[in-house]
Structure 1
Amino acid sequence: MKLIIKIALVLLIHHSCAAQPFKQTLLLMGSRFEITVSAKDSMEAGQYINMAVDEILRIEKLISSWDENSQTSEINSNAGIKPVKVSAELFQLIERSLAISHLTDGAFDISFAGMSQLWRFDGTMTSMPTDEEIKTSVAKVGYTNIILNKESNTVFLKLKGMKIGFGAIGKGYAADKAASILVDAGVTSGIINASGDIKTWGNQPNGEKWTVAIVNPLNKNHVFATLPISNGAVVTSGNYEKYVRFNNKRYSHIIDPRTGYPSRGIISVTVFAPKAELADALATSVFVMGKEVGLNRINQLPKVECVIIDDEGAIFTSNNIKINKL
C-alpha cells in the first residue's frame, strides 16, 4: 500500500518560464500512474507522455507473470525443468533483485510469488492459518534457488512449483525506465508517480526543487515534514489499511518471505534513493527487517535514506536525512 506520499506540484501561473508542468493520470500495470512533464505546450506534453506510456507498457509485457507469453511466465512454467534464455534486460533486473535479497538477508525476495495465498486481506479470512500451512507455503520460496548463468543469459528456478514476480520492484523499475526515456528525449524535468513509487528529475520550471510532503498515517490530515527532491526517487510502503485481526493481534499484508508470517511493529516506511527500483524494494524490506535492523542497513547504503513510523506513531529517521519538520 503506497498512499501517504504527496508531491507538491506548483503550477507556474505567476512565472514567465517558457516551460510549464503538464500532468496526466492513467491506469497502467493495474495501478494508478501520474506522469508529469515540463513542456512548452499541451501538444508537446502529450507527445512526451505517450512516450512514457509506451515504455511502461513495454516493461509490463516483459515482467508480467499474468501474460502467459511473457519471459517471466516462461521462467515460471519451466521451474524445476530447465533454464530459460531471457533478454539481457530481464536477466539484469533479476540479477539486481538477487543482490537486494542478499543485502536484506532475504527480506526482499522475488520468489515470494510462489507462496500460496494463505493470507487474504479482502475481508474473506475467518481464521488464522496453521503453522503447518504457513510452513508449506514457504517451501518453494528462496532466492538462493534462482540460478543465473551469465554466459548463456539463462534463468533457472531449481524447485518445481517455484515462481518469481516483480510486484515489489516492477513499478519502481517502470518509473525509472519511463523517466530515462523522457530525459533522452530532452525533457528537462518531470515526475513519474507509479502508484506511490515516485521518480523525479530536474527541477520545477521555476527553478525550485520538487517537494515531497510526508504524512503520518495515524493523522492523515497533517503533513509533519517536507523534503525537496531532484533527480531521485521516493517510495512509501504502508500497512495501515490492509490487515486482518485474530486473537486481538493485528497482522499486516506485508509478509516476511522467509517465514510466511506478516511483519509487525511498523506502519509506514518511506525510502529515498537515486532510483525508484531500489527505493521500492528497500521500502518493503525495511518493513520485514524491522526498525532497528532496517535503519542499520539503510545507514550503510550511500545516497539512501528512510523515515519509519512505528505502530504507536513514533517517527524514526536514518542518520543523514534532512527533512523540514513542520
Structure 2
Amino acid sequence: MTPGQRIRRAGRRLLALGLAAAVLAACSGEPDVHHRRMLVFGTMVDISLYGLPDDRAEPLLAEMEAHLRQRHDAWHAWEDSALTRFNEQLRKEGRARIHGPLRPLFDQGLPLARRTGYRFDPGIGALARAWGFHGDLSGEAQPPSDAFLRDWRAHPHSAADLERDGDMVTTDTRDMRLDFGAVAKGIALAEVHEQLAATEVDAGIVNAGGDLVTIRQPGQRRWRIGIRHPEAEGVVGTLSVDADEAVFTSGDYERRFEHEGNRYHHILDPDTGRPARGLRAVTVIHEDPALADAAATALMVAGPDDWRRVAAELELDHVLVITPQQRVRATPAMARRLDPDREADMTFETVELP
C-alpha cells in the first residue's frame, strides 16, 4: 500500500450506550437478557432482547438471524443473489421480472427514491462499481477516470429511468445495475422490528453497525444512544430514543479511501458522479426505518445548502447534521433529544426547517 493510497476504515457510526444498564435500572429485578451477533449487510448486527426465558428467546433470535441472512443473500448487489440475477437479465434484455424476495426492495425502495428526488438512487450501481465501493477496498483503490465521470454526467443512470408494470421492470438505459444498499438495512430492520414487536418481549434493540431500531423501551426510561464523533474517539453527544424508533446515520467516514492526498467516501452524488460534499454526517430518527435509512443518504447528498429543505419535504422532525467546520446543527425536535458532549470540540446550534 502506497502512502497516497492509504485506506481508512472507520468503526461503527453509532455506539449503543449502557443498554443493559438502562434496562436494569428501569425494571424491577434483573431481566433475562439474550444477545445474538451476526455478519450481514456488510456489518455486524447485534440483536438484544430483554424479558424472555431461554426457551423462548433463543429460537426467536435464531429466527431473526435466519431472516436477516435470507435478506442478505437475496439483496446483495454484487455477489450471486436474486438481485444480481435480476440486474443481469435487465442488462441483457432491458427487462426483468421481480421475484418474491425482491419485492420489498422495489415496493419500498423505488417510492423512497422518488420522494428524495433521487438523491437516494438505487440506479447508481454502475457508478459505485466504478469507484470501487462495490467490494472490499484495497490499496489500489482510486477514482474513476475523468472521461468516465464526464460520460456519467452526460448520461446518468437512475432508477427514475425504470418503468414498472406489476412485477415487470423495463428500461432503455444500458448497463443499468441496481444497488439498494442505502435502504436495504432499513427495510430489513423494519421487518425484524415488526416480527419482534408482535412477541411478548419486554424490550429490545437491533443494532446494524450503528443503524438501529428499538422494540419498546426499558421500563419507563428512554434508550440512550451515542452519536459517534466523525474524527476523534468518543461521541459528540447522546440521543434519547423512544420505543419503536429507528436511528440511522450516513457519514463520510464509514467507507473511504485516500488517493494522491485526496480523500473519497462512498456516499455518491448521482448528479456529479462524485462523493457528496459539504456535510460530514447526518443522523435521522423516525418511526419508519426504511425512510430513516434513505433520508440519511439523501440529506448527505443534498448538502449544507439544501438539507433543511429536503428534510422538510420528507416531513422529518428529528435530524442532526455535522459540518466540516465542527458544527452540530439539529432541528428543534432533535435538539431536545440531544445531550451534547462538551468535550467533543463541537459547536452546537438549533436550526428550524423551512
- The TM tier, using the shorter chain, reads 0.7 to 0.9
The residue that corresponds to 2:213 in the other structure is 199
User: Which residues of structure 2 form unaligned runs of 5+?
Assistant: 1-9, 341-354
* Offset, 1:225: 3.4
Q: Deviations over 1:72-99 (max 9, x none)?
A: 2232112251533324663353143222
Contact 2:204 2:215 (C-alpha < 8 Å) held by counterparts? yes
Q: Secondary structure at the match of 1:271?
A: strand
Give the structure 1 partner of residue 65 of structure 2.
Answer: 53
Give, in angstroms, the shift of residue 57 of structure 1. Answer: 1.9
Contact (CA 8 Å) 1:37, 1:48: kept in 2 or not?
no
Contact 2:16-2:210 at 8 Å conserved across structures: no
Give the gaps of 5 or more residues in structure 1.
none
Question: Aligned partners of 1:2 and 1:146: how far apart in 2?
Answer: 35
Q: Which one of 8, 11, 16 corresponds to residue 7 of structure 1?
A: 16
SS of the residue corresponding to residue 171 of structure 1 reads: helix
Tell whether the 8 Å contact from 2:206 to 2:214 is kept in structure 1 after alignment.
Answer: yes
Residue type matched to 2:217 in 1? N
Q: Is the 8 A contact 2:105 2:180 kept in 1?
A: no
Code of the residue aligned with 1:10 in structure 2: it is: A
1:240 aligns with 2:249: no
The residue identity in structure 1 corresponding to 2:89 is N
1:298 and 2:307 are equivalent in the alignment: no
Are the equivalent residues in 1 in contact too, given 2:74–2:81 (CA < 8 A)? no
> 1 CA distance for matches of 2:225 and 2:34?
18
Deviation at 1:171, TM superposition (A): 1.5
Q: 1:170 maps to which residue? A: 184
Per the alignment, residue 101 of structure 1 pairs with 113
More helix by share: 2
* Number of residue equivalences: 321
Superposition TM-score, scaled by structure 2 size: 0.80
Separation in 2, partners of 1:235, 1:182: 19
TM-score between the two structures when normalised by the length of structure 1 = 0.87
Q: Deviations over 1:267-315 (max 9, x none)?
A: 1111111122211111111111102311221133335421100112111
The reply to whether residue 132 of structure 1 matches residue 147 of structure 2 is yes
Q: Deviations over 1:191-221 (max 9, x none)?
A: 11112221112011x3322122223323332
- Relative to structure 1, the CA distance from residue 186 to residue 82 in structure 2 (aligned partners, 3 Å threshold; closer, same or farther) is farther
Q: Distance in 1 between matches of 2:146 and 2:71?
A: 37
Structure 1 vs Structure 2: percent identity of aligned residues? 22
The residue that corresponds to 2:86 in the other structure is 75
**Which letter does structure 1 place at the counterpart of 2:157?**
V
TM superposition shift of 1:181: 1.6
**Do the aligned partners of 2:207 and 2:213 also contact (CA within 8 Å) in 1?**
yes
Query: How do 1:241-260 and structure 2 match up within 5 A?
Result: 242-244=255-257, 249-260=262-273
1:83–1:157 contact (8 Å) kept in structure 2: yes
Comparing 19-28 and 106-115, the one that deviates more? 19-28
The equivalent of 2:285 in structure 1 is 272
SS at match of 2:90: coil
Tell me, yes or no, if the aligned pair for 1:20 and 1:38 is still in contact at 8 Å. yes
Distance 2:280 2:185 in 1: 21
